[in-house]
Amino acid sequence: MVRDMVEANVSSQTPPPMPKIPRQIPKWEDLKPLLGFRKFQLDGTERRLSRAVSIEDLRLLARRRTPRSAFDYTDGAADHEASLRRSRELFNNVEFRANVLRDISTVDLSTTILGGPSTRPFGFAPTGFTRMMQYQGEVAVAHEANTAGIPYALSTMGTTSLEDVAKLTPDTQRWFQLYVWKERVGTKELVERASANGYGALLLTVDTAVAGQRQRDVRNGLTIPPQLTPKTFFDMSLHPAWWANLLTTAPLEFASLRQSGGTVAGMINRMFDPTLTFDDVEWLRGIWPGKLVVKGIQSVEDGKQAIAAGADAVLLSNHGGRQLDRGRPPLRLLPEMREALGPDAQIMIDGGIMNGGDIVAAIALGADFALVGRAYLYGLMAGGYRGVRRTIDILTAEVTRTMQLLGVGKVADLDPRHVVLP
């Protein structure tokens, strides 16, 4: 009955009429500021890069512009690629705990790593065959790292010489990544060349006792340098610019290795020394005057042993998932490692970083510095040196914004309170 009364009441009232919205003829002065025609960018690379707002966008651009075997070599990982997937998932699943009402009008991204400065809390990891991804290769990467003031680590498997990269990096930290060869005389010579050319740190990679099985490379029949087969000729028609650049610049070969040719896995197994132990870390400590970093640490006990053997820092890494599949994500290991090594030990991390927020999470959880590999290679493949610059810009903006939204103004103020690791 009450309902009937309410309904009767409601229906008996006539609603007031809706006020009229006045209409007018649009005036040019009102329209002008709304017109969204931007000046058409004639330079295609510039146009594409400016539209890329994330590292994933650069990755998609890279995939379009690069022959499949070279793209897959970069993008792929070992076996079922679970290590890489899990590293990326763990970064994505991190929960930030923000503080608000802090003055974050200025943010200082600069930091110190291995005794030298870096304008940002990240640098470029060593990657082999960089000229295979895009003809500008290490020259573009070193040039952009130098311009930005971030460290760059040249790989033993690099396709540009130690000397040339040294000339390109006068204003920033230059590091050299070392694989120890079966032939120790050659290894020692390389270490001496790195020292003579002002490389401040040696990154000894220890996760490559044998080659990981990168299934995409096997399926694609990837060889270094790429072979000219009927498949390659077909590919040329799809990526003419890439092939033209490859064939009209210096032959694609390793700058520091005497051996070349065949598959990557074949070369690793032929050349790298599987007998390597912590005694060799001590041996290197004895012959290398600069900072020594052990790259590829995947357990707390190995981290402690590396420091005991004379390393200045450990780099938590599973080679971007390219070696042991189903390896633990380095981010998972990080808090345990910090706890075990104490506040003064230098800990770096890499693997799966696709966003500046990932870098912020790693620093907050105890890393002193992060390295990115694929992120800059995607940029390189997407647009040469300008693509590498775009990678730096995207990551820088993301790190800055994440820190501001977390209420943190300095890299040193990031701490574990800011992150919940699932």
Ligand X SMILES: Cc1cc2nc3c(=O)[nH]c(=O)nc-3n(C[C@H](O)[C@H](O)[C@H](O)COP(=O)(O)O)c2cc1C
Angle among Cα 405, 352, 72 to the nearest 5 degrees reads: 135
Please tell me whether 179 is known to bind a ligand.
yes
Options 15-23, 44-52, 100-108, 347-355: segment touching ligand X (CB under 6 A) = 347-355
Binding marks (x or -) toward ligand X, 208..247, rule CB under 6 A? Answer: ----------------------------------------
Task: Give residues 93-132 in contact with ligand X (rule: CB under 6 A).
Answer: 125-128
- Compute the distance between CA of residue 71 and CA of residue 76 in angstroms, rounded to an integer: 8
Q: Which among 143, 239, 319, 418 is annotated as catalytic?
A: 319
Q: Is 284 in the site for ligand X (CB under 6 A)?
A: no
Residue 82: C-alpha distances to residues 185, 271, 328, 421 (Å): 37, 27, 10, 19
- Which ranges of 224-347 does DSSP label H, i.e. alpha helix? 230-238, 240-247, 264-271, 278-287, 300-308, 330-341
Binding marks (x or -) toward ligand X, 9..48, rule CB under 6 A? Answer: ----------------------------------------
* Number of neighbouring beta carbons within 10 Å of residue 228: 11
Minimum CB separation of residue 314 from ligand X in Å reads: 13
**Residue 376 or 408 with smaller CB distance to ligand X:** 376
Comparing CA positions, the residue from 111, 145, 117, 152 lying closest to residue 362 is: 111
- Compute the distance between CA of residue 357 and CA of residue 331 in angstroms, rounded to an integer: 13
**Residue 67 or 373 with smaller CB distance to ligand X:** 373
- The H or E element containing residue 203 is strand 201-205
Minimum CB separation of residue 417 from ligand X in Å reads: 26
- Compute the distance between CA of residue 226 and CA of residue 293 in angstroms, rounded to an integer: 32
Binding marks (x or -) toward ligand X, 166..185, rule CB under 6 A? Answer: -----------x--------
- Compute the distance between CA of residue 347 and CA of residue 334 in angstroms, rounded to an integer: 8
**Residue 134 or 155 with smaller CB distance to ligand X:** 155
Minimum CB separation of residue 242 from ligand X in Å reads: 16
Residues counted in the chain: 422
Minimum CB separation of residue 373 from ligand X in Å reads: 2
Please tell me whether 385 is known to bind a ligand.
no
Options 61-69, 335-343, 348-356, 387-395: segment touching ligand X (CB under 6 A) = 348-356
Please tell me whether 378 is known to bind a ligand.
no
Sign of CA dihedral 398, 401, 404, 406: negative
**Can you read off the two tokens belonging to residue 395?**
């990551």
- Compute the distance between CA of residue 117 and CA of residue 195 in angstroms, rounded to an integer: 19
For helices 82-93 and 356-364, what crossing angle results, to 10°?
80
**Residue 50 or 92 with smaller CB distance to ligand X:** 92
Active-site residue 80, yes or no?
A: no
Task: Give residues 297-326 in contact with ligand X (rule: CB under 6 A).
Answer: 317, 319-320, 322
Minimum CB separation of residue 80 from ligand X in Å reads: 16
**Residue 49 or 293 with smaller CB distance to ligand X:** 293
Options 18-26, 331-339, 372-380, 413-421: segment touching ligand X (CB under 6 A) = 372-380
Please tell me whether 130 is known to bind a ligand.
no
> What is the per-residue DSSP string for 10-48?
HHHSPPPPPPPPP--PPPHHHHGGG---PPP---HHHHH
- The residue with its CB nearest to ligand X is 373
Q: Is 350 in the site for ligand X (CB under 6 A)?
A: yes
Kindly determine how many residues on this chain lie close enough to bind ligand X according to the rule CB under 6 A. 24
Residue bearing tokens 């970083």: 353
Amino acid at 269: N
Residue 30: C-alpha distances to residues 25, 26, 38, 304 (Å): 10, 7, 18, 68
Q: Is 74 in the site for ligand X (CB under 6 A)?
A: yes
Are 359 and 411 within 8 A, CB to CB? Answer: no
Minimum CB separation of residue 409 from ligand X in Å reads: 26
Please tell me whether 205 is known to bind a ligand.
yes
> Which positions make up the binding site for glyoxylate?
73, 179, 214, 319, 322
> Which positions make up the binding site for FMN?
126-128, 155, 177, 205, 295, 317, 373-374
Residues that bind ligand X (CB under 6 A): 73-74, 125-128, 155, 157, 177, 205, 295, 317, 319-320, 322, 350-353, 372-375, 377
| Residues catalogued as catalytic | 319
